[in-house]
Chains A and B, each alone.
Chain A
């Protein structure tokens, strides 16, 4: 049985309440090392996506955003393993996905838009064949019907000259076009949840907004939900109704978007905003280097935190509700 070993968290995670599309509870992913403690790349992540939500997942490089996405998609890179917690999707447990679950759910109800499309598309198959494969194996379409449907999908993602693109190979596409193709693939079947793994960061800024607009529109049209993973917090303001902030493998703040942007409460969230402030004193106060005198702490943000207290070093804060529509993992969040 998966045990919950973290201080302050309480009992073993239970099955989520009905009506929740995706529930990640206390998920831990570690990488084994020889003769040393395993590295915990994800250290107890909690997120929840309900029907109709678009959740923005924000974090810096190395925080574990992509790892979380791939763990949900049963594809942990580099030999890591799930070492704690659970993932539930549409009432089924998927952290130890069976082969049957994989072929039924992935690419169908649960799909992902990847961030390196030209590296992840099959180089020897045409665009039409790759979209067609999804339609043939998930929806049982014939080859001809699949090609027709693939064409209309390409039109839906607004790719220029869609008929020609059908027979193009991935290396013949530009970055933006390849991105639209993987969006088409993710939305081809009957998605309930689409995870976008930093799908637009490699694109030009103007194209970024176009593609995100397109993606969120299509998601809503299909009546699905989405998780938008990004390093850019501004994106969540435009597109998401929920925000989750990820730091060092943990969720540190989880809130409705308007609440969050009105008043962030976790010191790290405040730092994300303060970094853009014109007020130099404000910037200096919140954006600090890690203090070398502080040891590795129970709260991973402690070495950089201006509000650090002694208990932050020894006791890991729990993810607590802080008023309606908000949860924070902090001993001393900023209120009022």
Chain B
């Protein structure tokens, strides 16, 4: 079937891209000053111990060989160990990546729920209050630093009003997390029937999701509005107007025609926010993957960073593949 061959071709492209990403990350991180053996053993280690560790870790081999060994291990599912947590990176990421995913998915979901309706409304109403509000919001949302907004929200809802829980991670510290099935606390607590954990997880999620949602609604709104504007001015939309079709039909057709651009934007935003949510993660003590990677860089701990890069690159590529398939479904011209 045509679609299968298309998917197959795309997957073929994915592999060299992935390889390229890991390649560049590997060499970039190797450039970071700091000897891992020294860092792991501490300042009091003897030179002999350090040398022996470096040998064990394979750090004395030529870089290209180190890279090949690393790839070999990755293909077997071994992403190395983090010297900070002393656990396999794969385990660490299996915990942290879903946390980030849950946060980003809900946050972008909120952003879509705010941004798209506002964008459509602003576009259909050529001038007037809705359009002004949308214009300003779009720009403002893109201007506000997300970590600052997080702090402000914490100050207002936690310090001042006391309605929000303390920003100390995904779950109230007195509670035990449910068994990890999907990695998403919301889903897992429901699956385990643990209502208290569910409520706590949900209330911990409110502020960070609100932060990400409010900030990302801006670009989504702007893209929706500008695409709708352009669509409404296009020849075929004017023809629809000249055919006397009712306003709601025109709006529906315009939204349908604008969908591809919005989908593209959302996919890009998603990939970007996986890494970009790190600041929000830090503010809320979320224990997410981005935070993990950043700490890896700051402490010259290579494997977490590489592991994160691989995970997020894989996710991005998967997202772009899904988007391409969606385009296939939405636009008959591509199929033809």
Contacts and interface: CB of A to CB of B under 8 A. Distances in A.
A199 to B, nearest CB: 13
Interface string A5-32: 0000000000000000000000000000
Contacts, number: 72
B243 A111 contact: yes
Nearest to A171: B333
A111 B249 CA distance: 18
Interface of B is mostly: helix
B138 to A, nearest CB: 23
Contact of B333 (A73, A123, A133): A123
Nearest to A110: B244
Contact of A106 (B235, B242, B331, B336): B242
Given A106-B244, A124-B330, A172-B336, A119 B236 contact: yes
B279 interface: no
A312 interface: no
A50 interface: no
A169 interface: yes
A74 B242 contact: yes
Contacts of B247: 99, 103
Contact of B245 (A111, A116, A133): A133
B336 A123 contact: no
Interface in A50-99: 70, 73-75, 77, 99
B336 A124 contact: no
A171 B336 contact: yes
Interface in B199-251: 235-236, 238-247, 249
Contact of A124 (B241, B246, B249, B256): B256
Contacts of B253: 122, 125
A138 interface: yes
B235 to A, nearest CB: 5
Which of A99, A116, A120, A172 has the largest number of chain B CB atoms within 10 A? A120
A107 B236 contact: no
Interface in B256-275: 256-257
Given A123-B333, A124-B332, A172-B336, A102 B244 contact: yes
A239 interface: no
A237 B331 CA distance: 44
Contacts of A103: 244-247
A75 B243 contact: no
A77 B330 CA distance: 29
B236 A120 contact: yes
Contacts of A273: none
Nearest to B333: A171
Contacts of A138: 244
Contacts of B256: 124
A268 to B, nearest CB: 30
Contacts of A121: 236, 239
Nearest to A133: B245
A185 B333 contact: no
A111 B239 CA distance: 10
B336 A122 contact: no
Contact of B336 (A119, A133, A137, A169): A169
Contacts of A108: 244
Contacts of B330: 124
25 contacts: A73-B242, A74-B241, A75-B238, A75-B241, A75-B242, A103-B247, A106-B242, A106-B243, A106-B244, A107-B242, A107-B243, A107-B245, A108-B244, A111-B243, A119-B236, A122-B240, A123-B332, A124-B256, A124-B333, A133-B243, A133-B249, A134-B243, A138-B244, A169-B333, A171-B333
Nearest first, the 3 A-B pairs at minimum CB distance are A107-B244, A106-B244, A107-B243
